[in-house]
Every structure is written in C-alpha cells, then in structure tokens.
Amino acid sequence: MKVFNTLTRKKEELVPVEPGRVKIYTCGPTVYWFAHVGNFRAYVFADTLRRVLEYLGFEVRHVMNITDVGHLTTDDDLGEDKLEAGAKREGRTPQEIARFYEEAFFRDAERLNILKPTVVCRATEHIPDMIELIKRIEKNGFTYRTSVGLIFDTSRYPDYWRLGRLNLEEQRAGARVEVDPERRNPSDFALWITNQPKHLMQWDSPWGRGFPGWHIECSAMSMCYLGEEFDIHTGGIDHIPVHHTNERAQNFAATGKEVVHYWMHNAFLQLGDSRMGKSEGNIITISTLMEQGVEPLAFRYLCHTAHYRMPLNFTSEALVAAQHGLRGLRELGLNAQNWSAGADRVWLDTLRKDFQSAVADDLNMPQAMAVVWELVREGNRRQDRNAWELLLEFDRVLGLRLGVAEDAPLPVRRLAEEREAARRAKDWVKADQLRKEIFSQGWIVEDTRDGWRLKRA
Ligand code: AMP
Ligand code: ZN
C-alpha cells in the first residue's frame, strides 16, 4: 500500500510500526452544530482508508476524538468556545449541546455506512491526560507563561514549519489577528488557557484554573490510545497549517519523536468557488439531502468519483449522476438473480487485481470505480453470477451497502403516509391520486398486513 504523506509531499510505501497492524487517528467533529457534507467528505475518506487497509489484510485500530471543549471561534486563543457559543444559541448547557450533536453526527455517519471507529474519545473525558502531556512539554523547556496562560514556544522546535511548509516571515506579515505583544512568535499557541472567568468549562491545573487549548487534545488522545509512535493521522487540508502543525510540535516537545509517521489530508468539498464550511454559511447536511429525496449513500458514491487529494465540486448534476450510478450497481444484483456462475474466472481475477492495485495506490478511488464499472458491463454481457459476488467483495471497500435494497426517499415515504391517512379516511380518490404520484416518482406502494411497503417500480 502506498500513501501520500503530507510531511514529505511524496507517495510512500506504508510500513506500519507493528507489522500487519495499522494505527490511525482521525480528527473528529467539533460537536456544536450539525456536521455538513463537507465534513463528511473527510470522514468518508478516513473510513475508506480503513476499509482499504482491512480489505488488503491489515488489522486496523482506528481512533477518533470528539471535540467538546477548547475549539475557539478564533485562532488567537481569545475567542469564545464553540461549544459555549452553541449552548448560548440554544439555551442549553455545553454538555447537552455536545451530546446532542455527537448523536446527530453518528446517526448521519451510520447513514453513510461509515464504520464506527475502534475507539471514540471525548476531549472533556481526557483532561488529566492533557495536563500530564503539557507537564512533559513544560519540563522539556518548550513553554512560557503570559496573561493568557501557558504558551508553546514554537521557535524551540526548528522543524516547526515543515508540515505546513510555513514561512514564519510570511505568517507574521499576513497575520489576521492582532499579534499578542506578550508572545515571542506569532505562531506560538496556548496549551492551557487561564484568566477567562466567563468560560463555563474549567478545570484545576498546575497553571491555574482554566481549560486546554484545542491542539493538545489530539496529541494527548492519539498517544493515549495508539502509543508514542503510530502510523496515520488524517484530517482535511485546513488542518495542515495550524492544528496539525501544532499537534506535531507538541508531540515532539513531549517525546522527542516523530510520533505520526504518515499525515494524510483530504481536499475540500466545494460549493461553487468556495469551500463548504460553517463559517462560509453555505452548508448542506445529510438531512437536507434526504429531504430532497437523495440517498445519503449517493453522496458516498460521489466521494468515490474524485481522488481524495483533489477538490470535489458539489453540484446537483453530480449528485444526480451519483444516485444513478448507485442504482446501476445495485441493478447488477437484481439481474444476477437469474444467472448462474460461469466457469471462466480469469477475467474476474484480472479485475480483482486491477481493483486492488487502484486502491493500494494511495486510494485511487476513481480508478477503482472504473474497474467496478468494467465488472458491471462485463458481468451483464456474460450474464455471470460471479460478477455480482465480486462486486459485493469490492463493496467491503466502497461501503455502498449494495446488497441491501434501496430505501425509498423521505419525500416518497411522506406521500405513502399521506396515502395511508387518506385510505383510513376512506378518501379513495385522494389515495389513488397519491398512489399515482408515488408511481411517477419511481415507486410502487403495496399494502400488507403490517401496513404499507414501498418497492422500486
Ligand atoms: P470541524 O468539525 O470543523 O473540526 O471539521 C471536521 C473535519 O472536516 C476536519 O477534518 C476538516 O478538515 C474537515 N472539513 C471541513 N470542511 C470541509 C470541506 N468543505 N471539505 C472537506 N473536508 C472538510
Ligand atoms: Zn485534531
């Protein structure tokens, strides 16, 4: 398996710390609002990576955090905590907000058939681990104090710039935020923040009562569950210059080691010319898709059509094409019900090899999808049941639940409910109109003893 390492800007052979076992850490969601499909591009990427590794025979330990404290609205360590802003907005406690949006996140992730990571860990439940790690960083001489709290001195780590290819002079000139006069370098950041009496979530620490900076949680929890050297760290490209650069600096300051061996980053999902993002105000959620009658798995299919390191444009045309593609793949299964297994397996073995080399080449999913479609065409031509069996094998990587019949879209299900209500009211004309409406949308409603059921027309 080859992976592109952001640290070296090269495709490298993946050599795990422990042979046969790959340890992955993924920066998880900040749970103050619904995750959008842009965020989910990052999690579909991490999930596909995990599935590819498992398909190729590695055992995978996948850890993902939940950020429920410390992620501020600005990068200057003085902004409001996003969780507390969410709490204010909704008149609830930060903890209520965190649990609510964490649940919503996993509900959407399940709809996208994203496998639950081996370990899911919350920042608020690892404050003592963070404090211990900060103590090590302090003992090794990488910190100083200001009125903000305990600050990491980035000039003590000469390799600081490497992950983000940062030029400190440029950074200084382009700094958006007013540079804090107490800081030695503009890139310095807080490990522990004190003197913010309005902040609701606070803990005692050797540096005073306060709360952790955002970056320390990922250093602490990744090492806590994966050890002081592990294989892969994933996230979106926006994390390269600040969050992951700072994480790497903390890791080195505490351990003297290059803790993460391969940094992998996905490019953005874009809407028009800009990145989809909460701060851009152009977000679309999984629920929005469902309301529009789009299957969440069509979005997963869409993700596979672009390489993870390439921007992906989110357009309704692309989404419709993905929905068609997904149905086309399922159709092979319907056709195959009437076929028997062919004797010739050579063509299948060739396609399997092609699929494996595509996914093992830094997750070249567009290439893998080309192999998938070759399989579908050839399977239909030969009317060979083995084609469907192989497609189901590939689906361990694709994660499209191809073996499961499509769920009727939400708007169609609503029509079926309306029809049921009309039937109960003995309004046969309306019920019949609704049946036709459902049919025109590609579905047949059937009445069973347990109520209505929808089947694709
Ligand atoms: P956040 O909840 O803001 O910390 O983001 C969660 C993950 O989504 C991070 O890995 C981000 O890099 C990633 N992300 C945010 N916006 C996008 C986008 N438009 N496209 C792809 N990934 C994104
Ligand atoms: Zn992180």
Q: Tens digits of per-residue pLDDT, 255-272? A: 999 999 999 999 999 998
Instruction: Please give the distance, rounded to the nearest whole angstrom, from the Cα atom of residue 221 to the centre of ligand 2.
Output: 9
171 belongs to a structural domain? yes
Ligand nearest to the CA of 239: 1
pLDDT of 310 strictly over 90: yes
134 belongs to a structural domain? yes
pLDDT of residue 4: 98
Rounded to whole angstroms, the Cα distance separating 324 from 303 reads 14
CATH number at residue 27: 3.40.50.620
pLDDT of residue 349: 98
pLDDT of 234 strictly over 90: yes
pLDDT of residue 331: 94
pLDDT of 39 strictly over 80: yes
- Residue 289 CA, chain-centre distance (Å), reads 17
Q: Considering only 54-68, 153-167, 249-263, which range has the smallest mean pLDDT? A: 153-167
Tell which wins on pLDDT, 84 or 13: 13
pLDDT of residue 172: 56
For 60, the token pair is: 């995978």
Q: Considering only 132-136, 179-183, 312-316, which range has the smallest mean pLDDT? A: 179-183
286 belongs to a structural domain? yes
pTM of the model: 0.94
CATH number at residue 345: 1.10.730.10
Rounded to whole angstroms, the Cα distance separating 225 from 23 reads 9
Whole-number mean pLDDT of the chain? 94
Looking at ligand 1, which atom is closest to the CA of residue 71? 4
Residues 444, 377, single domain; the answer is: no
Instruction: Please give the distance, rounded to the nearest whole angstrom, from the Cα atom of residue 29 to the centre of ligand 1.
Output: 8
Residues 289, 356, single domain; the answer is: yes
The residue range of the domain holding 34 is 2-266
pLDDT of 177 strictly over 60: no
Instruction: Please give the distance, rounded to the nearest whole angstrom, from the Cα atom of residue 246 to the centre of ligand 2.
Output: 10
Cα end-to-end span (Å), the chain: 42
Residues 234, 288, single domain; the answer is: no
| DSSP at 200 | S
Task: Order the strands of the 312-313 sheet from edge to edge.
Answer: 274-275, 269-271, 312-313
Number of compact structural domains in the chain: 3
pLDDT of residue 81: 84
pLDDT band at residue 324, thresholds of 50, 70 and 90?
very high
Kindly list the protein residues whose Cβ atom lies closer than 6 A to any atom of ligand 1.
27, 29-30, 38-39, 41-42, 235-236, 238-239, 266, 268-269, 275-277
Radius of gyration of the chain (CA): 25
E-strand ranges in 204-299 read 210-212, 230-236, 260-266, 269-271, 274-275
| DSSP at 343 | S
**Contact in structure between 398 and 298 (CB atoms under 8 Å):** no
The mean per-residue pLDDT over the stretch 57-75 comes to 90
Q: What is the pLDDT of residues 193-213, one digit of tens each?
A: 999 888 888 999 999 999 999
Looking at ligand 1, which atom is closest to the CA of residue 235? 10
Residues 298, 184, single domain; the answer is: no
pLDDT of 415 strictly over 80: yes
The mean per-residue pLDDT over the stretch 160-179 comes to 70
Instruction: Please give the distance, rounded to the nearest whole angstrom, from the Cα atom of residue 299 to the centre of ligand 2.
Output: 24
The mean per-residue pLDDT over the stretch 213-224 comes to 96
The mean per-residue pLDDT over the stretch 139-167 comes to 94
Residues 159, 245, single domain; the answer is: yes
pLDDT band at residue 171, thresholds of 50, 70 and 90?
low
Residues 196, 138, single domain; the answer is: yes
403 belongs to a structural domain? no
Looking at ligand 1, which atom is closest to the CA of residue 42? 22
Tell which wins on pLDDT, 69 or 126: 126
- The tally of CA atoms less than 13 A away on the side-chain side of residue 368 is 27
